[in-house]
Structure 1
Amino acid sequence: MASLQYEIIKTIGTLSESTTGWKKELNLISWNNREPKYDLRDWSSDHEKMGKGITLSTDEMSNLKELLEQINTIS
C-alpha cells in the first residue's frame, strides 16, 4: 500500500472531541503535495492517526457555506 503524505496547512477549528481525545476538525490540508483542500475528519491528539472524512475544494466549501446559511433562513 502506498504511503499517504499530508501536511496540515491551517487548522480552522474543532467541531467536537470524544472521550478518547479524538477531535473532529476542519483543516486546510495538502494531500500528497497537491493543492490544499478543506478537510473534515476525526484526528488523534497527535495527528498521527485519522478517521474517514471528506475533502472539499474551495468552490465546494463556498457552496456548502451557502447551503448552511439557508438552513438558518428556512422557517
Structure 2
Amino acid sequence: MAAKITYTIQEELGDLSVASNGWKKQLTYTSWNNRDEKFDLRSWNPDHTAMTKGLTLTKDELLKLREILNNLDLDKY
C-alpha cells in the first residue's frame, strides 16, 4: 500500500498554460507532507484535488533556474 501524500498549496504564483480539460500548469508555493514549502511546477485539475508528476524547487534552485533562463538565447531554439 502506497503512503498517502499530503499537500497544502500556500500560494498560486502563476499559470503557465491551461488545457482544454481545465487542467492548469502552475507554479505554486506548496508544502508536501507537512514539510517546509517549496516552489512547485506541475499540472492541477480545476479544484486542486488531482495533479500530474511535477518538479519541486528550493528558493536557491529557483534563483539558479531564473539565472539560466535569463541568459538563454531563445532565438537559437
TM-score range, shorter chain: over 0.9
Counterpart for residue 61 of structure 1? 62
Q: Tell me which amino acid in the other structure corresponds to 1:32.
A: N
User: Cα RMSD over matched residues?
Assistant: 1.6
Structure 1: which 4+ aligned runs deviate by more than 4 Å? 72-75
Counterpart for residue 34 of structure 2? 33
Higher strand residue share = 1
Any gaps of 5 or more consecutive residues in structure 1?
Answer: none
When normalised by structure 2's length, the TM-score is 0.91
Any gaps of 5 or more consecutive residues in structure 2?
Answer: none
Give the direction of change, closer, same or farther, for the CA distance of 1:18–1:70 in structure 2 (3 Å limit): same
Counterpart for residue 22 of structure 1? 23
Percent identity, aligned pairs only, is 44
When normalised by structure 1's length, the TM-score is 0.93
Deviations 1:3-52 (A, max 9, x none): 10000011100000000000000000000010100000000001000001
